[in-house]
Structure 1
């Protein structure tokens, strides 16, 4: 038994270093509604279906209080829908600019394919958003074998496991033990754990780290290590089986998992 399928998240994992496309828009739509939110608050639910992300932010005690103070009442489902419509239109305007593959992704995918591994993907973006992302990422050399969006599983995105199961079905994965899910948010890790597959957090370029490429590169080696350890702890606390700093480490990690599976089958 060995790993046959690797399922990648998109923004912050495969493309869009630091996962900035959605974050910037979350900050803007709340500001337009008269409620200032912090970068940390905007990032906390990252990886979820975007309307669920907005709902989760509105349910945060501080934001809830501020919304009530500014609008004179608690938020309603109508407010959620209004914010989401604004989010969708603003994101669609800027999305194409955030589709550059992150360093080592293309080479790693090529390397995995050469060993017979199939490449799946899941996302917190909807079908229409992903049309933009997949088209532009493909032009830049990144194209997984399969994609599932929350739209395709009745809007039950992360932390539900259904997008992973749909990938497994389409790619012919026989066992959850032979599947690795890799992502850059706690939602990705929860999705993997709920599906019973290997959960791997990628650190550099992740939403959990929350730095742009320029910001990360401008740090000293010591400062970079502090940021790496901070994100690593977040992934480990949520239950990730493994973490890697960059995609360059993924083939060796898969080898490690394969060796463990080999021993398991001998026992």
Structure 2
């Protein structure tokens, strides 16, 4: 029985053309980082302030992190204005299957509340599509810490973590679901992380996309670990 599905946003339930990572790369570059796109990609799924601090090698310089973060948010808004995000194929059908099984649906994300609000507004997902939204502003630490999963449980009234399904497109997503003790920890390939990379991380299933969740829930796709 799945009581809660906690799903990542960008690359998992939402196609946003990797705008977040281009914006992050451009923002840190403007503040002196020599990080490559590959360096930035290693922070997929992480809290963006944490990523900025590491990419700029700033240690405890909070003011520089905040200035870079402001630039990151501005660049991301501009990207979304130019090319609005859209739902991943099959995601709304998967949501319907989950609801038919009696599960609640939460989104968890390494974005700030402001960016997440903008994203959901562009999608038209403000009301009724999901039961809870958890951002890194809501927890003491982002992935791979399990706190966003726990906060999603709290907000949806779910108390048994074994009845939680987590879904994400990055290694950090899989580590967070595993650290939380979720009953199903599913990696999806829709975010561009290679299969062998996701399969090397702790998980129960790795599938092509969220559209495959009904087969996971029906037992058609067997666990790979």
Q: Secondary structure at the match of 1:109?
A: helix
Cα offset, 1:234, TM superposition? 0.9
Show the counterpart of 2:71. Answer: 86
Q: Deviations 1:70-103 (Å, cap 9, x if unpaired)?
A: xxxx995443333222112222333353420011
Counterpart in 1 of 2:138?
152
Q: Please state whether the residue corresponding to 1:147 is helix, strand or coil.
A: strand
Where structure 1 has 5 or more consecutive residues not aligned to the other structure, the ranges are 65-73, 209-230, 261-267
Report the Cα distance in structure 1 between the residues aligned to 2:128 and 2:53, rounded to whole angstroms: 31
Structure 1 pair 77/152, CA: closer, same or farther in 2 (3 Å)? closer
1:140 Cα offset (Å):
10
In structure 1, how many angstroms separate the alpha carbons of the residues matched to 2:125 and 2:2? Answer: 28
1:13 deviation in Å?
0.5
Partner of 1:171: 156
**Equivalence for 1:212:** none
Quote the offset at 1:51 in angstroms: 0.6
Q: Which has the higher contact order (CA 8 A, sep 6+)?
A: 1
**Secondary structure of 2:132's aligned partner:** coil
User: For the residues of structure 2 that align with 1:186 and 1:145, how far apart are their CA atoms?
Assistant: 25
Whichever structure has more strand as a proportion of its residues is: 2
**Is the helix fraction higher in 1 or 2?**
1
Q: How does 1:1-267 map to 2 (within 5 A)?
A: 2-16=1-15, 20-59=18-57, 76-95=61-80, 97-138=83-124, 143-154=129-140, 156-197=141-182, 198-203=184-189, 205-208=190-193, 231-256=194-219
Contact 2:45–2:143 at 8 Å: present in 1 too?
A: yes
Confirm or deny: 8 A CA contact 1:199 1:242 kept in the other structure. Answer: yes
Rounded Cα–Cα distance in structure 1 between residues aligned with 2:112 and 2:38: 23
Of the two, which has the highest radius of gyration?
1
Whether contact under 8 Å (1:15, 1:98) holds in the other structure is: no
Q: CA deviation at 1:143?
A: 2.6
Structure 1 residue 114: deviation in Å? Answer: 1.8
Aligned counterparts of 1:250 and 1:39: Cα–Cα separation in 2: 30
Where does structure 1 differ by over 6 angstroms across 4 or more consecutive aligned residues? Answer: none
SS in structure 1 at match of 2:6: strand
Cα offset, 1:31, TM superposition: 3.1
8 Å contact 1:106–1:142 — kept in the other structure? no
Whole-angstrom CA distance in 2 between matches of 1:106 and 1:16: 13
CA displacement 1:53-78 (0-9 Å, x = unmatched): 1123234xxxx9xxxxxxxxx99544
TM (normalized to structure 2)? Answer: 0.87
